[in-house]
Amino acid sequence: MKKYLVIGNPIKHSLSPELHNYWIRKNDIKGLYNREELDEKDLKKFFLKIKKKEIDGVNITVPFKKAAIPYLDKLSFEAEKTQSVNTVYLKNDKIIGHNTDIDGFELAIKETNYDVRGKKVLILGAGGVVPSIIFALHKMKVSNITLSNRTKAKAENLKSLSNDLEIVDWGKVSNFDMIINATSIGLKKEDKLNLDLSKFSNSEFFYDVIYNPKETNFLKDGKMLGKKTENGKKMFIYQAAQSFKIWHGIEPLINNEVIKLLEV
Ligand code: ATR
């Protein structure tokens, strides 16, 4: 029986086990995918278990996407560039770290049919998934990325990954073609960004990384302004599908049944 895990802290909310176990069953794979809450001090011991082949594959979520790197033997190009790992596996006795959030975001945006090429994009937040979004947006040839985060120093740190990133003070935002909420504001239904959204009257597309609840106040406001909106569900599904492909060599099916698994 192969063993897979998602690690993070907190981890209760993660729906990765539902998704992966569904695909594991559908493909008659002898395996099980669980979630495990860890503290940072447990990471070293945890990754030794991968070396000893006690675990076959790991997804990493907040807050360990960067913290796990010292315990890995090799990073993929994407993981190295973003300093962010969400997928781990053993190959020739080496622990490899890869980043499937980038492809997850790119595939999700492509599916919306919104062409980001040449567009001005604003990212709100500087948390774990933001380096991957920046990498993907550059790959998709946006014209400019501006970032705004409550803690400005965290935004400035991201400049080491992308030196043409523009940083603006939290709240001091103007017009952009696409606005991405990558903060955790919205995870609770009543959460509201303290931003004047009327400043975004010329914006076209409001995207929220959050998918549960499926419509945050940010997306509700976008809708009310008559904008295109999209939540992070497809990004989540596509990053999981890419991990699945790496571990099992199978492209898993994404259909309505899969999408329903995430409706909690
Ligand atoms: P982490 O920061 O551990 O990677 P995350 O969930 O990926 O966690 O990121 C949370 C993001 O939401 C951060 O950008 C955070 O801003 P800070 O860097 O200032 O903490 C942002 N965030 C959370 N609560 C917020 C609030 N009430 N107002 C503004 N931004 C908030």
- For the stretch 153-183, pLDDT in tens is 999 999 988 888 999 999 888 889 999 999 9
- Ligand 1 atom nearest residue 183's Cα: 12
Q: Indicate the SS3 state at residue 57.
A: strand
Q: Is 141 a residue of the active site?
A: no
- Could you tell me the distance, in angstroms and rounded to a whole number, from the CA of residue 149 to the centre of ligand 1? 8
pLDDT of residue 263: 86
Q: Name the percent of the chain lying above pLDDT 70.
A: 100
pLDDT exceeds cutoff 80 at 264: no
| CATH level 3 topology of 102-231 | Rossmann fold (3.40.50)
Domains 2-99+236-261 and 102-231 share a fold: yes
The verdict on the CB of residue 161 being under 6 Å from ligand 1 is: no
The verdict on the CB of residue 63 being under 6 Å from ligand 1 is: yes
- Could you tell me the distance, in angstroms and rounded to a whole number, from the CA of residue 46 to the centre of ligand 1? 26
pLDDT of residue 173: 81
**Residue with token string 């695909």:** 23
CA nearest ligand 1 atom 14, residue: 125
- Alpha-carbon gap, residue 85 to 98, rounded angstroms: 5
2-99+236-261: CATH superfamily: Leucine Dehydrogenase, chain A, domain 1 (3.40.50.10860)
Q: What residue ranges do the domains of the chain occupy?
A: 2-99+236-261, 102-231
Question: Residue 36: is it exposed, middle or buried by C-beta count within 10 angstroms (0-12/13-18/19+)?
Answer: middle
Confidence of residue 257 (pLDDT cuts 50, 70, 90): very high
pLDDT of residue 129: 94
Average pLDDT over residues 248-262: 95
Which secondary-structure segment (H or E) carries 203?
none
pTM of the complete model: 0.96
pLDDT of residue 156: 95
The verdict on the CB of residue 21 being under 6 Å from ligand 1 is: no
pLDDT exceeds cutoff 90 at 2: yes
Q: What is the mean pLDDT of the chain?
A: 95
